[in-house]
Amino acid sequence: MSRIGKKPVALPKGVTVTVSADNTVTVKGPKGELKQTIDRDIKIEVTETEIILGRPTDQIRHRAMHGLYRALLANLVKGVTEGYKKELELVGVGYKAANTGNTLDLSLGYSHNIIFEIPKELTVATTTEKGQNPKIFLEGIDKQLIGAVAAKLRSLRKPEPYKGKGVKYAGEVLRRKAGKAAGK
């Protein structure tokens, strides 16, 4: 049996879970409400303090979905109670980030600035301190959405391996390469 799938998802105080007839799970908490559609083969049992998922057979498909949906439900519960944060760093001379509401204005070494619209479900903040790289902070309750937006921002200027310039996640370790060998 799946080690992750058979582990129950603990429900903290203030979180309510409802399962509709079409297997859509709605999780409500202090920070908001999230929905996830679950495959019809996976059985969901909601008690006062936990969610337990079960599968009908040991087919590869059922085993895979068992762990997947348990992890997705755990992410929903954590999102509506604590929320998620992602931090990106702009490494490079002249790289800048500024935001007005949910509109991000990025200067990443191209001939033009990049205007990036952040979804309304997320909040964005930018900081620029002297002697430090500019930073972008993303916050929200949907882990998948934050990851997708952060990946899109990173793809605008991926960190290159020689000088490390580009948009990278905070704490990301880049694999560096040696430059040209001086030879005669």
Domain end marker among 18, 53, 81:
81
pLDDT in tens, 87-146: 999 999 999 999 999 999 999 999 999 999 999 999 999 999 999 999 999 999 999 999
Question: Around Cβ 136, how many Cβ atoms within 10 Å?
Answer: 25
Query: Which residues, in sequence order, are CB contacts of 65 under 8 Å at separation 6+?
Result: 39, 41, 42, 55
Statement to judge: residues 89 and 160 lie in one domain: yes
Q: Mean pLDDT throughout 148-174?
A: 93
90 and 143 assigned to the same domain:
yes
Q: Does 176 map to a domain?
A: no
Per the structure, how many domains does the chain have? 2
Domain that holds residue 63: 9-81
Residue 179 lies in a domain: no
Output the pTM of the full model: 0.89
Q: For residues 117 and 71, state if they share a domain.
A: no
Residue with tokens 């297997």: 23
Task: Tell me whether strands 135-140 and 123-127 are parallel, antiparallel or unpaired.
Answer: antiparallel
In a domain, residue 178? The reply is no
Q: b/e map of 151-167 (b: 16 or more CB within 10 Å)?
A: eebbeebebeeeeebbb
